[in-house]
Amino acid sequence: EADIYQTPRYLVIGTGKKITLECSQTMGHDKMYWYQQDPGMELHLIHYSYGVNSTEKGDLSSESTVSRIRTEHFPLTLESARPSHTSQYLCASSESARGDTQYFGPGTRLTVL
Amino acid sequence: KQEVTQIPAALSVPEGENLVLNCSFTDSAIYNLQWFRQDPGKGLTSLLLIQSSQREQTSGRLNASLDKSSGRSTLYIAASQPGDSATYLCAVSASTLTFGKGTMLLVSP
């Protein structure tokens, strides 16, 4: 059983607020990922990290930022939330970037009013 | 740019039927292909991972095949049950994972 956690699970917030979505894993994985998923649509990679102090932008352009100060923690921040940021955000981790399964957290469903 | 297509988009079957979900991808330069299950409002659960050098993987009632040269994979579910109802996602791995939109499966009692 994978141990990857996301908080909050649901968040409703007003336009202009700063928010941080938390993701942590207890498996010691070096690789971590953030995906964005709109209803009925495919997951799109928005950020990834191959280790501490390493972050890269994914395939889908996003106004969010990430940090990786500790191996187990990969938070995502939106400085000023807008209704266009309404979506589900999924965090994942894997032992290696290429050959291993990615383990997913339960997701955060964000609604910006 | 890699593109992943899943057919059908939705499928409704009575309990007990065997069924096949299809996945195709445009770039055969992949490290592996994974099938995931997603329940409504939840994260993804990995079902099967097929390395690029493999042809198939089995887990219980699930069997996934991979034909890398033709860019195709199938997920076979035997003796379907209502608990199998979920969205099934196919994803191919190069430097990062590329997902299809999924097949929404409903198995009725």
Place of tokens 């097929």: B50
CA–CA dist B94, B24 (Å, integer): 15
Place of tokens 């939330």: A81
**Given an 8 Å threshold on Cβ–Cβ distance, is A104 in contact with B45?**
yes
**Given an 8 Å threshold on Cβ–Cβ distance, is A104 in contact with B41?**
no
Q: Is residue B40 exposed (0-12), middle (13-18) or buried (19+ Cβ within 10 Å)?
A: exposed
CA–CA dist A49, A73 (Å, integer): 11
**Closest in B34, B95, B100 to A101, CB measured:** B34
With cut-offs at 50, 70 and 90, classify the pLDDT of residue B57: very high
**Given an 8 Å threshold on Cβ–Cβ distance, is B32 in contact with A98?**
yes
- What pLDDT was estimated at residue B11? 96
Q: What is the pLDDT of residues B60-101, one digit of tens each?
A: 999 999 999 999 999 999 999 999 999 999 999 987 889 999
β-bridge mates for residue A103, sequence order? A93
**Given an 8 Å threshold on Cβ–Cβ distance, is A107 in contact with B42?**
yes
**Closest in A45, A99, A107 to B31, CB measured:** A99
Average pLDDT over chain B, rounded to an integer: 94
CB distance from A5 to chain B under 8 Å?
A: no
Q: What is the pLDDT of residues A32-41, one digit of tens each?
A: 999 999 988 8
Which position has the higher pLDDT, A19 or A61?
Answer: A19
Q: Residue A42 above 90 pLDDT?
A: no
Mean pLDDT of B1-24: 95
A&B contacts, CB < 8 Å: 57
CA–CA dist B79, B48 (Å, integer): 18
- What pLDDT was estimated at residue A79? 93
- What pLDDT was estimated at residue A97? 59
CA–CA dist A46, A57 (Å, integer): 6
Whether residue B10 contacts residue B88, with contact meaning beta carbons closer than 8 Å, is answered with no
Specify the long-range contacts of residues A65-70, CB closer than 8 Å, at least 24 apart: A66/A34, A68/A32
Contact list, B31 vs chain A (CB under 8 Å) = 98-99
Distance from CA of A105 to the nearest CA of B (A): 6
- What pLDDT was estimated at residue B41? 77
Q: Residue A1 above 60 pLDDT?
A: no
